[in-house]
Amino acid sequence: MKRLRKLVNVLYHSLYTSRKIQQTDILLLGKLLARQNKQLPILHDLAEAEFKVFSQSGDDGIIQYLIHKIAIPNKIFIEFGVENYVESNTRFLLKNDNWSGLLIDGGQKSIDYIKSDDIYYQHNLEVVQSFITAENINDLITAGGLSGEIGLLSIDIDGNDYWIWKAIQAVQPVIVVVEYNSVLGKERALTVPYKADFIREHAHYSHLYFGASLKALCVLAEEKGYAFVGSNSYGNNAYFVRKEHVGELQVFSAEAGYVKSHFRESRDRKGQLNYLSGDERYACIKGLPVYNVENNVIESL
């Protein structure tokens, strides 16, 4: 099984980087990898399940692994911050598994693009255009026709991620995928203070001041009745499962499941990429205000 999986991954990446790549080729290979993931044993590291079809990193594979280890009656997803939905955590669920979904994004051009895509008439997909805040998120979800238990929620808005998940009451996802900012470290439960109109590139010139630490998300998960089951290998997405659905899945503390990212996406004061890496990234935003969700106070990073 491992040898076959390795060969399929090599072929997959070869096709993915080819200029002659066709989406049908990628989907066919994705289907093969998804079938393999269905047969995987319980993993100690979610990265072992990774493969990429439409996700930014290997999240398509992780999601396929989880949905075959958990009983999910309502195969419905919600994803925020999808832009034009070409790259996303749920598009493969839509194409491969025929789930239904709700997408929310603030850009009208992105919404128009999605509606012009074949997936919009081929699948049961709702799209809502709105800038997401803690105050409007539940209304946006119910306006999209959803309430109660759903299969998966994916949150990636580069800012108020902690606050938005905290505010959500309209739905109870079985699986939650939330982006975390690994630059904030693993020791402290921190998030950017809530600001309804938070925009990452406006908050600090470096683009590194956003989101929440993994520990902050784990604290919130515990409050909401979720267990942390791991991160992807890129160190940007954390996975949570409602405790009554965890079963034999491995559960981690924030410290044990933290993965340090290697993204070099920082900007200088002129807005140009300056490729800070490692602890240089933290040093760039050190001293900025952060909210400690355990102590409920504003602190300095």
Question: Mind listing the pLDDT tens digit for each residue in 115-135?
Answer: 999 999 999 999 999 999 999
Distance of alpha carbon 60 from alpha carbon 89, whole angstroms: 6
User: What's the pLDDT score for residue 25?
Assistant: 72
**Sign of dihedral through CA atoms 202, 206, 207, 210?**
negative
Contacts for 193 with CB less than 8 Å, ≥ 6 apart = 289, 290, 291, 298
Distance of alpha carbon 176 from alpha carbon 90, whole angstroms: 12
Tell whether the model's pLDDT for residue 265 goes beyond 60.
yes
Question: Looking at domain 2-300, which CATH architecture does it have?
Answer: 3-Layer(aba) Sandwich (3.40)
Distance of alpha carbon 127 from alpha carbon 48, whole angstroms: 32
Q: Where are the domains of the chain?
A: 2-300
7-11, 63-67, 123-127: least confidently modelled range: 7-11
Indicate the SS3 state at residue 179.
strand
66 to 77, 91, 185, 294: CA distances (angstroms) = 14, 16, 26, 29
Average of per-residue pLDDT across 84-92: 96
Average of per-residue pLDDT across 68-81: 95
Residue 90, phi then psi, degrees to nearest 5: -115, -5
Contacts for 135 with CB less than 8 Å, ≥ 6 apart = 167, 196
Provide the percentage of residues in the chain whose pLDDT is more than 70.
92
Q: Among candidates 220, 285, 199, 231, which has minimal Cα distance to 58?
A: 231
Q: Are 33 and 40 in contact (CB under 8 A)?
A: no
- pLDDT (tens digit, 9 = 90+) per residue, 20-33? 456 677 888 889 99
Indicate the SS3 state at residue 87.
coil
CA 213 from centroid of its chain's CA atoms = 14
| pTM, to two decimals | 0.92
User: What's the pLDDT score for residue 29?
Assistant: 86
